[in-house]
A and B are shown apart, each in its own frame.
Chain A
Amino acid sequence: MGDGGRGSAGKPAWLQQYDLMGKIGEGTYGLVFLARSKLQSNRGKFIAIKKFKQSKDGDGVSPTAIREIMLLREISHENVVKLVNVHINHADMSLYLAFDYAEHDLYEIIRHHREKLNHPINQYTVKSLLWQLLNGLNYLHSNWIIHRDLKPSNILVMGEGDEQGVVKIADFGLARIYQSPLKPLSENGVVVTIWYRAPELLLGAKHYTSAVDMWAVGCIFAELLTLKPLFQGVEVKNPPNPFQLDQLDKIFKVLGHPTPEKWPTLVNLPHWQNDQQHIQGKKYDNPGLNNVVHLPLKSPAYDLLSKMLEYDPRKRLTAAQALEHEYFRIDPIPGRNTLVTSQPGEKIVLYPARPVDGSTDFEGSTSVQPSQPVSSGNLVSGGVPPGSIMNQRPVPRQMAGNIPRMPVPNVGSFGIGPQAVMGNMNPGGIPIQRGASAQAHQQQLRRKDLGAGMQNPGYPPQQKSRRF
C-alpha cells in the first residue's frame, strides 16, 4: 500500500491509477473526491478519496488522519468501510485515503424518504440496516474499538454492484482503541454532533465505554422509523465543552428523568450533582418513547429500541446482545441487500446518487471550463456558489460507465441552488462539513419552513458538525 514516487510531470505517479471525477464533499480536514480506478485489478471501480491537508499548526500529518489510518489498517469486516489504499503527495505534503465508494448513507436515505417520498422506510430495509450496523459495531467492540461518532451520515450503504445495499460504518477519525480509559473528546477540543450523544456523556462522565455507541444506534433506529432525529437538542457552543442542557431536556421529555434507583452511578456524574436545579427541577408529562416512534409497547421493535436507550450504560444492551434480539428473528428477516424489499408487490426505492462537483481537481483548485464561464474560484472555501459546475451522475448506476462530464447548465438560476446541491453531498465513507454558504442557505430554508411557528420543524443542518 502506498507509493510516493513522482511521475514525469512532477505529479505523483499514483494519480495515474485514477480517473478523477470530481469533489463529493469537504470538511475541516480537506476534501473528498470520487474517482474510478484504472488499475487492471480494479478497473472501473468507484473509489472515494479523502484528502488530508497538512495540519494548519505546522505539525505534519493531522493526528486524526494518523489514528484513522492506524485503525483502518487493522480492521476488516463486511460492515466496516474498506480502506483500499493510502497515497502521499510529497510535493505538497498531503495524504490521501482511498476507500471503496459507497453511493448512499443513512442521512441521505432518511432525507429522501422524508422530503421526496413522504413515506416511511420499509420494515425490511430498516431491520436490515439496523442489523448490519449492529453487526459491524459488534466487530468493532469485540476488538476494543469505540467509534464515538456514530450518526446517520457516517453509516454508508453501498450502491449497485456485488455489495449492493450493504451497510458500511465509516469515519474512524474519532474512533479509539480502549485498552486504557478514554478521555472525553471534548478535552481534545473535538466537536461532535450532540443529538446522538449518550446521557452519561451529557452529564459529564469522564470516560467513554462502548455503550455510547449503542445509545447512538438507538437514536439512529428511531430515526429510521420516524424519519426524524429522536432528540434534536439545540447545541450550546460556548464555552468550550459546555453543559448541553437542552439536549438532556429533549431526552428527558421522551424517556422521563433518570433516577438513582435505576441508574446507581448517576449520582457520581458531575452535572447531575452540580446542575441539580436545572436537571432535576423540571417535570415532564412523559409522552413515552412508544408514542414518539409509533410502536406498540409490546412489539419486539419497541423492546429492542428501549433497551438501547437504557439510561444506565451498564444495563444498556450491547451490540452482541442486540443481534440476538427477537426483533431480528421475526418476519421480515433481515438480509444482506438492505435496499431490496421482501414484499413482492412493493416498489423498490431508487435513492439518488451523490452529486459530483467535476470542477475541482485533487489540488482543490477549481478549473475554469470553457463551456461554463460563471465557474467560480471560491469553491473550496465557500461551498458551491450559484452557477458552479456540477456533474450529475446518472441513476441508476449501470449507466455510470460513461459519466457525462457535461455540466448541468445554470443550476443556480433554475432555483436548484447550492443548498440543494450541496445538501445532497456526502462522500464515500466520509461525513463532511458542508460549505459555509450551503449551511447559510439551509438555515434560510429552515426559517421558511418555520412558518407554522413550530419549535423544531425541519431537519436542522446536521452537517454543521460533519467533519472528516
Chain B
Amino acid sequence: MAANFWTSSHFKQLLDAMEVDVVHSPDKEKGLTPEEFRLVKIHMTNYIWKLAHHVKVRQRVIATAVAYFRRVCARKSMSEYDPRLVAPTCLYLAAKAEESTIQARLLVFYIKKIYVDEKYRFEIKDILEMEMKLLEALDYYLVVFHPYRPLIQLLQDAGMADLTHISWSLVNDSYRMDLILVHPPYMIALACINIASVLKEKNATAWFEELRVDMNAVKNISIEILDFYDTYRTPSDDRVNLVLSKLKA
C-alpha cells in the first residue's frame, strides 16, 4: 500500500474525469454553476496554501489537505459542507495524517488573521466537529500519493534535474485542478515534465519513448494543465463571497 500505488486505496478510489466536476443537486438547486463550483474549489485551494504558510507545514501536508478537500467536494454538497470550514479542517486533518500535527487553536488564530470576514470565522469546536465529519466523508481513506516523489525520481532518470524547479511549480499548480482525484500521481508528474521540457526547449522525446507509458494520456493531462493556465485568474474574494452567498438559503 504505502509504497505501492497500485494496491493503495488512492488508486482504487481514482475517479472518472466526468465524476469530479459535477455540481451536487442541493447546490445546483440553489443555482451554483459548474464554473462557480470550480471557482470555489480554486479559491479554497489557495486558502489552504495561505493558511499552511502561516502555520508552516511541509509541501506534502498542503498537497494532502487539498486532495482531501477535493475528494470531499466530489462527494458532498457545499450547502451541507461549508467549504470555508472544510478547507481549514482538511489542513488540520492532513497535518495529523502526515505527522506534523498543528494545534486547532493556532489554526483558528491564523484564520482570523487571514479573513476578517465573519463567514470565515470558526471556533475550535467547529473544526473538531468537522474533522469527524471529514473522516466519514473520506470514508476513512487517508493515504494520498503525490507527484512530487515520482517527479524527482523521473527527472533524475531523465538527466533533466535542471527542470526540477519549473516542473515542481507546475505540480504545485496542478492542485488547483482535480487532477489528483483522476490520474495516478506519476502521470501528473510526467505531464509536468512534458510541459517543462517544451517550455525550456529540451528534447525529451527519446526518454519518454523509452518509458513506455501511455503518451497520449500524458499529453492529454499536459493539455488540460495548459488550458487551465490559459483561463486561470485568481478568484477575487468578492466574487467567491457572492457565489457562496447563493448557497446560504
Is residue B198 contacting chain A, with contact meaning CB distance below 8 A? no
Among A59, A93, A144, which residue has the most Cβ atoms of chain B within 10 A? A59
Q: Are B2 and A66 in contact (CB under 8 A)?
A: no
The proximity string for B residues 129-143 relative to A, scoring 1 for CB distances below 8 Å and 0 otherwise, is 101110110011111
Question: Would you give the 0/1 interface string for B1-22, flagging 1 where the beta carbon is closer than 8 Å to chain A?
Answer: 1111001110000000000000
Q: Which residue of A lies closest to B8 (CB)?
A: A74
Name the distance in Å between A1's Cβ and chain B's nearest Cβ. 6
The B-contacting residues of A in range 64-120, CB under 8 angstroms, are 66-67, 69-71, 73-75, 86, 88, 90, 93, 95
- Closest Cβ–Cβ distance, residue B121 to chain A (whole Å): 18
The one of A69, A90, A144, A145 in contact with B129, judged by C-beta atoms closer than 8 angstroms, is: A90
The 8 A CB mask of A39-77 against B (1 = contact, 0 = none) is 000000000000000100011110100110111011100
Q: How far is the CA of A145 from the CA of B1 in the complex (A)?
A: 9
Residue of A nearest to B142 (CB): A70
Q: Report if A177 contacts B (CB, 8 A).
A: yes
Inter-chain contacts of B215 with A (CB < 8 A): none
B69 touches A (CB below 8 Å) = no
Name the residue in B105, B127, B133, B135 with the highest tally of chain A Cβ atoms < 10 Å from its Cβ: B135
Name A1-28 residues within 8 Å CB distance of B: 1-4
In the complex, the chain A residue whose C-beta lies closest to that of B131 is: A60
- Among the stretches B41-49, B94-102, B202-210, B239-247, the one at the interface with A is B94-102
Q: Check B103 for interface membership: any CB of A closer than 8 A.
A: yes
Given the interface contacts A60-B128, A93-B129, does A86 sit within 8 Å of B140 by beta carbon? yes
- Give the Cβ gap from A81 to chain B, nearest Cβ, in Å: 15
**Chain A residues whose C-beta falls within 8 Å of the C-beta of B128 in the assembled complex:** 54, 58-60, 93
Give chain A nearest CB distance to B142 CB in angstroms: 4
Contacts of A60 in B (CB 8 A): 92, 96, 104, 127-128, 131-132
B9 contacts A3, C-beta separation under 8 Å = no
The B interface is mostly helix, strand or loop, or mixed, namely helix
Q: Is B213 an interface residue (CB 8 A)?
A: no
The distance from the CB of A339 to the nearest CB of chain B, in whole angstroms, is 30
Q: Which of A3, A58, A60, A63 has the most CB of B within 10 A?
A: A60
Q: Please give, as numbers and ranges, the residues of chain B lying within 8 Å of A176 by CB-CB distance.
A: 99
Residue in A3, A88, A179 whose beta carbon sits within 8 Å of that of B2 in the complex: A179
Which residues on B sit within 8 Å (CB–CB) of A75? 1
Residues of B39-73 contacting chain A, CB below 8 A? none
Is there contact, CB below 8 Å, between B103 and A59? yes
Once the chains are docked, how many angstroms separate the CA of A60 from the CA of B141?
A: 18
Chain B residues with Cβ under 8 A from A1's Cβ?
Answer: 139-140
- A-contacting residues of B (Cβ < 8 Å)? 1-4, 7-9, 92-93, 96-97, 99, 101, 103-105, 124, 127-129, 131-133, 135-136, 139-143, 149
A-B contact pairs, 13 of them (CB 8 A): A58-B128, A60-B131, A63-B96, A63-B101, A73-B141, A74-B1, A93-B128, A143-B2, A143-B7, A144-B3, A145-B1, A177-B3, A179-B2
7 nearest A-B pairs in the assembled complex, by CB-CB distance: A74-B1, A177-B2, A144-B3, A70-B142, A60-B128, A66-B96, A144-B2
